[in-house]
Structure 1
């Protein structure tokens, strides 16, 4: 039996032959020999081809999931979008349970997560919908703790999403009370010196206080 190895080169793909295409302009004799001597084909790695919304840019995480499964794996982004579109998201039992408890006991609800439209780990439209549901449920104290994005979006796009969120939640009970970058809040390399800053902010309210 012949053995098969699955090797993934992140960032490698087929594109136009412009000067900005590093792969096209590089000397790649080994890869060139593979194309020349062995059967090959191309995969589409964006949008509906990998379980994302049409026009949504793919990424390594989504690509790995689809290649590993050998089929289209519908991402959480699409599932949540469809639930909102079909008006079934409001029927989520755990959300309704949390909102009901908060209203009955006059408790605050904290929404913590990535604020961007990157679509990999979150989407800002989902946050706004959550705020609307909480408001309709009668939650009086709704607090947002935003992690700004600099990986799946432009590194300087944070202020744009903050302004957008504030505009969309003006008439709701939601309030943005803390902001920190994903570099600290979503570190996955076990670097406690980063995570501690996010932990202290969320748990002990330690951070630089500003007024807008």
Structure 2
């Protein structure tokens, strides 16, 4: 249901999320930060909050301008490096209980179909991710690395070797790291398990409205 004024019967009505994870975190009086560059800012704010446009009472937001280029293969680094340094500096004087960050490179550069540019984009994200993981773990924090879909890992169609610029339907990684996390490969998981895992890491009880389960329970 994309619009309310359509004079048709809608097969799939809009779903309302009453208890997005950000709302639960806020209800506990905990501080949270959402940070992204322009291209993905709605994803870490409006969409992550279940369609709620305004921030919660203890939610801060940082948007870093995306490069002004016609297509992102011309600037595959996008604003990832600037965002990484900004976040590291922000943490020096303002601690948060939960931080959500989105690197847009793999998706946005993947959409251009330029494989060499996508390689540069991935290398940039790899570097920034390593910097942030090392920084957060040195502070005693835990880090989850995941995605909601693929793109740059599948840029050639298997049938005819033509360029593919669309999202893939491959399983996405879920990597959990921290000072108290024991290395282990889990057999499977679902995107619905991400929020319960976040809540368990933060010591917050999972509400009955969530139908996923914490992946930590499988350790």
**Fold equivalence (TM over 0.5):** no
Structure number with greater Rg is: 1
Query: If the length of structure 1 is used for normalisation, what is the TM-score?
Result: 0.32
Q: Which has the higher helix share?
A: 1
